[in-house]
Structure 1
Amino acid sequence: MRVKICAVGRMRSGPEKLLFDDYADRFSKTGRALSLGPLTVTEVEDKKNRGQQAEADLLRNAIPKGALICAMDERGKTRTSPQFAQDLARWRDNGTADLALVIGGADGLTPGFRAEANTALSFGTMVWPHMLARVMLAEQLYRAASILAGAPYHRE
């Protein structure tokens, strides 16, 4: 199952990018034997500042056709890391070819976009900077792959 993060905004060089790249690489390596990955990222920008609806349209265009869409949203389900790992395994085992994990802009995702998503996940009710949310998502993908592989990275 190919995994794609579709996100509003460009990640610039710096500590967040270094962390993201590290976890994305770890996920791609660990996930390969599990039929997970590679992890790719598509960044979109509303250069004309047309707002949340324009961002939603750009995100829709970034999502692979037929992908399972998982919106990252504060109103989504909170999952433990093992539960998230099981979600990934279930989606893969049910024949999902592409998983799109979508992160909106500063104002989040439109209600219409959230309604179109197959599911929504949350890192909790706190609001996180978008670049840190990407890092946390990449780390959780790596953690999920490690759990599924039986590796000792995740300890309960």
Structure 2
Amino acid sequence: MLSVRLICVGKLGEKFWAQAAAEYEKRLGGYCKLEILELPEQRLPQTPSQGEIDAALKKESELIAAKIPSGAAVIAMCVEGKPMSSEQLADYVSDLTVRGTSRLCVLIGGSCGMEESIKQRANLRLSMSPMTFPHHLARVMVLEQLYRALNIVGGGKYHK
């Protein structure tokens, strides 16, 4: 069974985000072994300088790097990444497993994004849209798309 680690910077504060994420976590249980790691988002002043943002991203990148499992295929969620349809994501995941990859690690940065050094570690930079989404919503969307992709791979009817 595929092992998926979702590394997220920041916690789900509001109950409705947690409920939505929990629903997809439950659904994914039949398709993969899912682990969600929440890493602390670095605190910044109301109007941070670029230097303060860079320092926060560097600290977050160190925390993320320490949690990426060895041998895992890494997907970094970022606005400049490659857009994919649900079917294309399903094909990507299926191809990984056919080639013998049993671990997938998906990265979601905090409100300032992710440092370039972490994005460079990714096998795939994936974009959900050129629009910007709150990282809490991005987590729910990633979980839903993982569920949809694995359902497609398994021949399920959810996608239709």
- Structures share fold, TM-score greater than 0.5: yes
Unaligned runs of 5+ in 1: 32-36
**TM-score normalised by L of structure 1:** 0.89
Residue deviations 1:93-150, cap 9 Å, x none? 1111211100111111111211121111000100000010000011111111211122
**1:126 counterpart letter in structure 2:** M
Query: Structure 1's 12 and 46: CA in aligned 2 closer, same or farther, altered over 3 A?
Result: closer
Between the aligned partners of 2:124 and 2:42, the Cα distance in structure 1 is 28
Matching residue's letter, 1:3: V
Contact 1:46 1:54 in 2 (8 A): no
Alignment partners' CA distance in 2, 1:116 and 1:101: 11
* Bigger radius of gyration among the two: 2
Structure 1 residue corresponding to 2:75, chosen from 55, 58, 70: 70
How much does 1:86 deviate? Answer: 0.8
Cα distance in structure 1, aligned partners of 2:90 and 2:102 = 16
**1:48 & 1:14 partners in 2: Cα distance?**
22
Q: TM-score, normalised by structure 2?
A: 0.87
1:54 matches 2:59: yes
- State the percentage of identical aligned residues: 33
4+ residue runs of structure 1 moved beyond 6 angstroms?
Answer: none
The 2-side partners of 1:101 and 1:116 are apart by 11
Q: CA RMSD in A?
A: 1.4
The answer as to whether partners of 2:42 and 2:56 remain within 8 angstroms in 1 is no
Give the length in aligned residue pairs: 149
Q: How does 1:6-155 map to 2 (within 5 A)?
A: 6-12=7-13, 14-29=15-30, 31=31, 37-46=32-41, 51-155=56-160
* More off after superposition, 130-139 vs 19-28: 19-28
Larger deviation: 4-13 or 94-103? 4-13
Deviation at 1:79, TM superposition (A): 0.5
| Amino acid in the other structure paired with 1:134 | R
